[in-house]
Every structure is written in structure tokens, then in C-alpha cells.
């Protein structure tokens, strides 16, 4: 196994690595500074787009461009012009919330949740954006929405409220996009850590970034710890497999903690990392069908 710094742009809050198999490009975001980045598998040809608000996540569209979850709702992003267009703001009455982590299911729906910016109250919710642009609330009472991903068959949905101390699993209906039968998949064993971004590999194992303790954990499909990787920084935020063979694990990190109570990091803070030689492959990330 080898960990390298792929791109060091000192993202204030790096998040959401997203490998696109069609373009053979890696996207990631800076949540606090409102930026979308793109590069090649080996970190070349770096491009950046500015968005007008804090950004929690993004997905690519089948017809081109992207959907971005900004502080005030879901928007389209046109890569050619850099313009954003509001789709829907599901929380106009909650100015202290922002939309956070999100992913696309096998049928092209975008699921993303909101969070309390002070990370204290259960003011957030999980939403589903359908290809017809209808927004549906799936769950409420969430402090910090994070880590949405699916089993390889798309029928188990994983999600975490970061400070709940657990990753939850749900039955996922691919025909309707509904969730049911919520249960505990894994519990946090590390003091001071929070479950952050996650992805599932082709063997059905879930990889979670343990923010504030600098660990990546691979869980088997039955929730057992299979391996732990210690990273060069404490504030790792999210993970995604990519590269030509989908065997490189890309890891984002943050340069500055969002609140004073969280720890700092050395010189590599905010870097984008690539991990080689894991002997594991990921799955292609679907595009939004709308």
C-alpha cells in the first residue's frame, strides 16, 4: 500500500471525491470556499469552478453538467459557463442549515441530506431529488448528514448522522426510491471521531472516513472491521475509488476545522490523497438522470 499526495490545493473543507468513468476525471469540492475541482487520475490538468454558496456535494448529469447541493438547496451547474440555476430549496425556513453530502442511486436519483451548521441540533433531513426534479423528504431529526452509499445491488442504503456514533443501513426500494427497516450497521469505536464520507467497493465492503482521528475503516457487509488505514492528517473527510481500473482510493481532507473544538493538522492539511495497492476495486458512480 502506498499513500501519496495527489493535489495539494489546501481545501478549507475538502469533500466529495467523485470519479467519472466516462471522462476518466476526478471531481472534488471545497465545501466552505464554494469550489468544484477536477483533475486526471494522476493529479494533472487541475480545473476549478466557483459556486456562489457553500457546497455540500455534487453529482454529474447524464446530459452534461452537474447537480450541486449548495447551502440553499439543489442547483444545476453548467461547466461551460460556470452558471448555477436553482432547482429547489427544501429548507427556506432554516437559515442555519445547509445541504451536505449526497450520492446517486442506480436509477439516477440524487439523495442528499442537510445539516445544522453548529453541529448541535437535529434540524437536518435526508432528501431525494428525482429525475423529474421532484424533492421528497425521507427522514428528519438529523444533526449532520453524511456518508450516503449503496450496496453493489443497490438494495441496501447506508447513511450516517455523524454525531450519532453509528452508520445506519436501510432497505432501499429501487423502484420507488424509498427507505425502510432502519438498523445499526456499525458503531464508532474511536473517541473524538465522527463518521464522515463513505463508499462501497465491488466486494460489498463499506469504506468510511473517520474525521478528526485520521483513519479510514473498511467494514465487511455484516459490519465487522476488516482493516484500518492511518492517514497523514487527522481531518480526513471522504473516500471514493477511481482511476482507469477503479483501484485507487481517493481521500479528501480539510485545512481548517469548522468549529474551534476540533483539532488542527500539519502541513498536508487540506490535501487530496491517493492510496494505491489496496487490492480492492470500487464501483462506477451513476449519473443523475434528470
Positions marked catalytic = 196
Euclidean distance between CA atoms 41 and 32, whole angstroms: 24
Q: Are 148 and 156 in contact (CB under 8 A)?
A: no
* C-alpha dist (Å) from residue 68 to 54, 62, 236: 10, 14, 21
Burial class (CB in 10 A: 0-12, 13-18, 19+), 10: middle
From the list 237, 215, 217, the residue with the least C-alpha distance to 227 is: 217
**Residue 224 CA neighbour count, 13 Å, CB half:** 2
- The pairing of strands 135-142 and 73-77 is unpaired
Amino acid at each position: 500500500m502506498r499513500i501519496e499526495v495527489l493535489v495539494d490545493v489546501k481545501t478549507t473543507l475538502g469533500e466529495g471525491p467523485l470519479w467519472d468513468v466516462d471522462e476518466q476525471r476526478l471531481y472534488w469540492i471545497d465545501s466552505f470556499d464554494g469550489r468544484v475541482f477536477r483533475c486526471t487520475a494522476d493529479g494533472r490538468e487541475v480545473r476549478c469552478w466557483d459556486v456562489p454558496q457553500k457546497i455540500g456535494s455534487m453529482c454529474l448529469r447524464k446530459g452534461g453538467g452537474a447537480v450541486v447541493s449548495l447551502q440553499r438547496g439543489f442547483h444545476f451547474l453548467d461547466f461551460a459557463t460556470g452558471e448555477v440555476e436553482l432547482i429547489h430549496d427544501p429548507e427556506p425556513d432554516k437559515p442555519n442549515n445547509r445541504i451536505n453530502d449526497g450520492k446517486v442511486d442506480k436509477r439516477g436519483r440524487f439523495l442528499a441530506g442537510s445539516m445544522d451548521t453548529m453541529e448541535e441540533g437535529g434540524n437536518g433531513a435526508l432528501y431525494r431529488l428525482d429525475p423529474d426534479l421532484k424533492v421528497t423528504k425521507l427522514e428528519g431529526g438529523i444533526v449532520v448528514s453524511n456518508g450516503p452509499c449503496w450496496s453493489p445491488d443497490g438494495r441496501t442504503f447506508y447513511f450516517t448522522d455523524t454525531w450519532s456514533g453509528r452508520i445506519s443501513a436501510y432497505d432501499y426500494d429501487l423502484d420507488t426510491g424509498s427507505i425502510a427497516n432502519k438498523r445499526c450497521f456499525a458503531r464508532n469505536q474511536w473517541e473524538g471521531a465522527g463518521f464522515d464520507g463513505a463508499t462501497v467497493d465491488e466486494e460489498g465492503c463499506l469504506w468510511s472516513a473517520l474525521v478528526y482521528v485520521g483513519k479510514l475503516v473498511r467494514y465487511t457487509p455484516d459490519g465487522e472491521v476488516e482493516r484500518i488505514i492511518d492517514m497523514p492528517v487527522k481531518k480526513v473527510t471522504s473516500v471514493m475509488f477511481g482511476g482507469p481500473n477503479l483501484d485507487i482510493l481517493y481521500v479528501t481532507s480539510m485545512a481548517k476545522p469548522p468549529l474551534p473544538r476540533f483539532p488542527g493538522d500539519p502541513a498536508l492539511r487540506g490535501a487530496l490523497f491517493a492510496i494505491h495497492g489496496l487490492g480492492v476495486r470500487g464501483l462506477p458512480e451513476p449519473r443523475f438522470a434528470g
